[in-house]
Amino acid sequence: MTEQIISGNVKTAYDEFYQQHDEAWRMLGAKYKAQHIIGVCKGYPFKKVLEVGAGDGSILKFLADADFAPEYDAVEISDSGVAHILARNIKGVKSVQVFDGYHLPFEDNSFDLIILSHVLEHVEHERLLLREIKRVARHCIIEVPLDYRPGVDKRIKHFLAYGHINMYTPTSLRYLLRTEGFEIEKDLTSLIEPEVTRFNTYINQKKTKSFITSLKITGEFMVKNGLGQIFGAKKKEQLANAYTVLCKKSGDQVNIF
């Protein structure tokens, strides 16, 4: 397929998003996303890594600083996002390119690992992107927010404001990946850290700082974390805010129809 698949208004929206850059907020989120990637990839010595939908390069910055891999490449649909990545001068980055959202400008099996962190929920044709990822890399790591809850259809405007057009649960993401010929090797559920919630509350939402509010934020995190530890994986998935999976190509031939 050579025609442009990504909508013009989508590219414009994300280009404007990175022009209106919030460095502190994005770096805070990226810190924990990078920790999830490092955690779920423990024991896997990846050398050539490609981040698809690399945004402003904040995750790559943390990964490079942690010596996660010796070599990185990045693709991003936004011109302003590419400009931010290049400006960071990230150690080990070999190339940064604008791409059309679906066609990766690399040969088959060019990379040991592709990172797709908080991207899939934004993608109009998610299966097309997954097939391209499978072509280019031996492994991939995918993290998505767990936005789906009963009544989510009543909050469409809220989620569209963030560009979240796809809703996932751990089960639905596993189903999607397995029906596209991926085998899940490791996974990780995670809660929003209190540091992130405090920043969002006091800085983004501009609410007055309060000891009681801070105590409540920490307490809710500890209760959810404790319930997950007590009741196991199923409860963790019910309470989690994000889900991270490390996948590899399955040897099974998948025919959807």
Same domain, 18 and 97: yes
pLDDT in tens, 54-110: 999 999 999 999 999 999 999 999 999 999 999 999 999 999 999 999 999 999 999
Residue with tokens 């690992």: 113
Same domain, 176 and 197: no
CA distance 40 to 141: 8
The answer as to whether 1 is a domain residue is: no
pLDDT range class, residue 7, cuts 50, 70, 90: low
Residue 170, Cβ neighbours under 10 Å: how many? Answer: 22
Same domain, 175 and 223: no
Give the contacts of 27 (CB within 8 A, at least 6 positions apart).
58, 61
Same domain, 197 and 134: no
The answer as to whether 254 is a domain residue is: no
Q: Is the pLDDT of residue 1 over 60?
A: no
Is there a contact between 57 and 117 (Cβ–Cβ < 8 Å)? no
Same domain, 79 and 202: no
The answer as to whether 108 is a domain residue is: yes
pLDDT in tens, 13-55: 556 655 566 899 999 999 999 999 999 999 999 999 999 999 9
Same domain, 37 and 149: yes
Give the pLDDT score at 20. Answer: 62
CA distance 53 to 76: 5
Same domain, 131 and 209: no
The answer as to whether 255 is a domain residue is: no
What CATH number should be reported for the domain holding residue 18? 3.40.50.150
pLDDT in tens, 113-144: 999 999 999 999 999 999 999 999 999 999 99
Same domain, 72 and 34: yes
Same domain, 148 and 233: no
The answer as to whether 36 is a domain residue is: yes
Same domain, 146 and 25: yes
The answer as to whether 256 is a domain residue is: no
Residue with tokens 């960071």: 88
The answer as to whether 107 is a domain residue is: yes
Is there a contact between 139 and 246 (Cβ–Cβ < 8 Å)? yes
The answer as to whether 88 is a domain residue is: yes
CA distance 13 to 43: 38
Which residue(s) pair with 189 in the sheet?
243
Same domain, 160 and 109: yes
**Domain range for 54:** 8-190+241-249
Give the pLDDT score at 2. Answer: 41
Nearest to 118 by CA among 174, 37, 224: 37
Q: How many domains does the chain have?
A: 2
Q: Is the pLDDT of residue 216 over 80?
A: yes
**Burial of 204 from C-beta contacts in 10 A (0-12 / 13-18 / 19+):** exposed
